């Protein structure tokens, strides 16, 4: 048994940086959990708090139901594997793996048995007498894993363990770690910035951004039902296409709801419309939505384009990348296309293709072609432009959850806007006070100058008195 419960965990570094905000997660025994997100989103900090290498600022961490916030790392029964394998260069592979157990004063025969068993699992038995410098990157990484395995921990923590390896070795080690997880049947927590690693290895994935958890779900649910635009863009390569647009038309049994973006207008199927949360908020209103469609849900094959069930749009192909197993078409929708004669004045940096389609490798589309692209509309995604939260529920039961999240985000946005407005008003008031102070100073200076230059009878007049008085409150 090795379950973990993270409750309202925060990390605020002494420098004032809040690296992790309100992290909540229940990890079951034998799960393979992946923390994924861009650099600096708080993945390593969270892992290091679990390991005990970083103090938890607030919140509770339980391992097997026991609060371990104040327990030393060595007493948490976990093993951590780092990106840099940190092997002892002067020791053999055997000694590197045995070292931790010797420190724990484990009897020699038991150490020997554990090291040999781990070496067998990892396929490094023949290297046991070698020093790390005589090993390849992949072999060294296996030794680092071996050093963790021999401890037979309750939980394995892995922090970007494959980052130092080349692409081919990385994919090989990926499958090896998955097999290792199956073989050891222990809880794994794995940190990576690579969404492919996350998708291929995790039983559940935690997507993080700026210290906040965005979504916790299985790989397929993250792909099919991203909760917001960030998750939608982060999971999947090439990235999902996004277009700002509006919803128009009419609802009801006979009505039809249209998605309008750029110069396009396409009908949404009824089964999608039924899953839109708070449809009235968007239908024929000024409130914008973002339409998302993955490159693999766009098709240039005739069978797709000629099927009237699928809406299609006209695009101009900019660049074709034939990858062998598939072909990527980088295209421009009609709103992005400029007349031929004006095209030459655009630099290639400003000349952005706004639609990527991942089509069959037998596609005959060429750069410069004007083609029709069919949209597999049943796989479309819709987000609120302001909050970036999805407005499409997975099913009827999921609607309330999405609506609650939408409302929460709106409240946060409103609070943020109010705070920003307050700050701006305070800054403006300060600037106005400063300007007034300067004006009064100038007035006083001028009055003084006039006093020196003016005839004696005029000076006697009390003209400068109010100025001197007015200055006081400003100071
Ligand atoms: P990730 O692993 O996702 O790349 P980290 O957990 O390493 O992100 O860092 C999260 C945030 O905390 C970043 O903004 C980083 O700069 C900050 N941070 C990390 N370690 C420290 C530290 N020791 N002191 C201050 N800030 C830190």
Distance between CA atoms of residues 390 and 143, nearest Å: 44
What are 237's two structure tokens? 């390569």
**How many angstroms is it from 11 CA to the middle of ligand 1?**
10
**How many angstroms is it from 24 CA to the middle of ligand 1?**
19
Q: Out of 10, 11, 12, 13, give the residue to mutate to test ligand 1, the one with the largest number of ligand atoms within 8 Å of its CB.
A: 13
Distance between CA atoms of residues 239 and 234, nearest Å: 7
| Predicted TM-score (pTM) of this structure | 0.84
Annotated domain spans of the chain: 4-232, 233-392, 409-453
For the chain, 475 residues long, the average pLDDT of each consecutive 10-residue run is: 92 95 96 96 96 95 95 90 84 94 93 92 90 89 90 91 83 88 92 94 96 97 96 95 96 89 94 94 96 97 90 94 95 82 63 90 93 96 96 93 92 92 94 93 89 60 47 45
Top CATH class, 233-392:
mainly beta
**Quick one: pLDDT at residue 251?**
86
Contact 323, 381 (CB under 8 A): no
Taking CA atoms only, the protein residue closest to ligand 1 atom 14 is 40
Q: 40 in ligand 1 pocket by Cβ < 6 Å? A: yes
Distance between CA atoms of residues 141 and 152, nearest Å: 18
**How many angstroms is it from 202 CA to the middle of ligand 1?**
23
**Quick one: pLDDT at residue 141?**
87
Partners of residue 327 on adjacent β-strands: 322, 359
Q: 100 in ligand 1 pocket by Cβ < 6 Å? A: no
Q: pLDDT tens digits, residue range 359-412?
A: 999 999 999 999 999 999 999 999 999 999 999 999 999 999 999 999 999 999
Q: pLDDT tens digits, residue range 431-451?
A: 999 999 999 999 999 888 888
Q: 17 in ligand 1 pocket by Cβ < 6 Å? A: yes
Taking CA atoms only, the protein residue closest to ligand 1 atom 17 is 19
Torsion of CA 147, 151, 155, 160, to 10 degrees: -10
Name, in order, each residue with C-beta under 8 angstroms of 77's C-beta and a sequence gap of 6 or more: 2, 63, 153, 154, 155
CATH topology for the 4-232 domain:
Rossmann fold (3.40.50)
For ligand 1, what atom is nearest to the CA of residue 44?
2
Q: 41 in ligand 1 pocket by Cβ < 6 Å? A: yes
Q: 44 in ligand 1 pocket by Cβ < 6 Å? A: yes
> What's the Rg (C-alpha) of the chain?
31
Taking CA atoms only, the protein residue closest to ligand 1 atom 18 is 19
At residue 448's C-alpha, the angle toward residues 442 and 453, to 5°, is 125
**How many angstroms is it from 212 CA to the middle of ligand 1?**
13
Torsion of CA 52, 57, 59, 61, to 10 degrees: 0
**How many angstroms is it from 56 CA to the middle of ligand 1?**
14
Q: Kindly give the residue spans of alpha helices, DSSP state H, lying in 22-83.
A: 43-51
Give me the sign of the Cα torsion angle 245, 249, 251, 254: negative
Q: Out of 15, 42, 194, give the residue to mutate to test ligand 1, the one with the largest number of ligand atoms within 8 Å of its CB.
A: 42
**Quick one: pLDDT at residue 470?**
46
Q: pLDDT tens digits, residue range 278-311?
A: 999 999 999 999 999 999 999 999 999 998 888 9
Taking CA atoms only, the protein residue closest to ligand 1 atom 1 is 40
For ligand 1, what atom is nearest to the CA of residue 42?
6
Q: 19 in ligand 1 pocket by Cβ < 6 Å? A: yes
Q: pLDDT tens digits, residue range 45-57?
A: 999 999 999 999 9
Q: 45 in ligand 1 pocket by Cβ < 6 Å? A: yes
Q: 39 in ligand 1 pocket by Cβ < 6 Å? A: yes
**How many angstroms is it from 42 CA to the middle of ligand 1?**
6
**Quick one: pLDDT at residue 168?**
82
CATH topology of 4-232 equal to that of 233-392?
A: no
Q: 54 in ligand 1 pocket by Cβ < 6 Å? A: no
Q: 192 in ligand 1 pocket by Cβ < 6 Å? A: no
Nearest Cα residue to 87 out of 156, 143, 166: 143
Name the E strands within 47-154. 58-63, 66-67, 78-81
Q: 42 in ligand 1 pocket by Cβ < 6 Å? A: yes
Name the E strands within 263-399. 264-267, 289-293, 298-299, 312-322, 326-333, 355-360, 370-375, 381-384
């Amino acid at each position: 048994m090795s379950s973990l419960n993270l409750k309202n965990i925060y990390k605020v570094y002494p420098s004032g940086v809040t690296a992790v905000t309100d992290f909540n997660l229940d990890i079951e025994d034998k799960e393979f959990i992946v923390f994924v997100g861009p650099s600096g989103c708080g993945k390593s900090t969270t892992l290091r708090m679990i390991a005990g290498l970083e103090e938890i600022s607030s919140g509770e961490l339980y391992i097997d139901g026991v609060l371990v916030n104040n327990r030393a790392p060595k007493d948490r029964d976990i093993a951590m594997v780092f990106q840099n394998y940190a092997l002892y260069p002067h020791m053999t592979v055997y000694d590197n793996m045995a070292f931790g157990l010797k420190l724990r004063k484990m009897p020699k025969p038991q150490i020997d048995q554990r090291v040999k068993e781990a070496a067998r699992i990892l396929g490094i038995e023949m290297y046991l007498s070698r020093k790390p410098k005589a090993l390849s990157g992949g072999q060294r990484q296996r030794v680092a894993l071996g050093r963790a395995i021999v401890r037979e921990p309750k939980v394995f923590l892995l922090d970007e363990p494959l980052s130092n390896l080349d692409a081919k070795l990385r994919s090989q080690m990926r499958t090896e770690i998955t097999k290792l997880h199956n073989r050891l049947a222990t809880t794994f927590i794995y940190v990576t910035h690579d969404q492919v690693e996350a998708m291929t290895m995790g039983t559940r994935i935690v997507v993080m951004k700026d210290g906040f958890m965005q979504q916790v779900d299985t790989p397929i649910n993250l792909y099919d039902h991203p909760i917001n635009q960030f998750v939608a863009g982060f999971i999947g390569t090439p990235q999902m296409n996004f277009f700002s647009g509006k919803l128009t038309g009419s609802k009801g049994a006979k009505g039809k709801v249209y998605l309008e973006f750029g110069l396009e207008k396409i009908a949404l199927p009824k089964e999608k419309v039924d899953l839109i949360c708070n449809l009235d908020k968007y239908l024929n209103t000024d409130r914008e939505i973002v339409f998302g469609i993955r490159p693999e849900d766009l098709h240039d094959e005739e069978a797709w384009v000629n099927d009237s069930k699928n809406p299609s749009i006209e695009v101009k192909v900019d660049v074709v990348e034939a990858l062998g197993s598939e072909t990527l078409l980088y295209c421009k929708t009609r709103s992005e296309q400029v007349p031929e004669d004006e095209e030459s004045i655009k630099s290639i940096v400003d000349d952005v293709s706004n639609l990527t389609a991942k089509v069959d490798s037998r596609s005959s589309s060429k750069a410069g072609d004007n083609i029709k692209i069919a949209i597999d509309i049943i796989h479309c995604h819709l987000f609120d432009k302001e909050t970036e939260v999805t407005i499409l529920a997975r099913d009827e039961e999921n609607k309330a959850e999405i609506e609650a999240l939408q409302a929460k985000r709106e409240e946060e946005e409103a609070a943020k806007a109010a705070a920003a407005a307050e700050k701006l008003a305070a800054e403006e008031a300060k600037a106005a006070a400063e300007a007034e102070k300067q004006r009064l100073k100038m007035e006083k200076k001028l009055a003084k100058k006039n006093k020196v230059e003016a005839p004696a009878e005029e000076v006697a007049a009390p003209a400068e008195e109010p100025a001197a008085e007015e200055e006081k409150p400003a100071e």
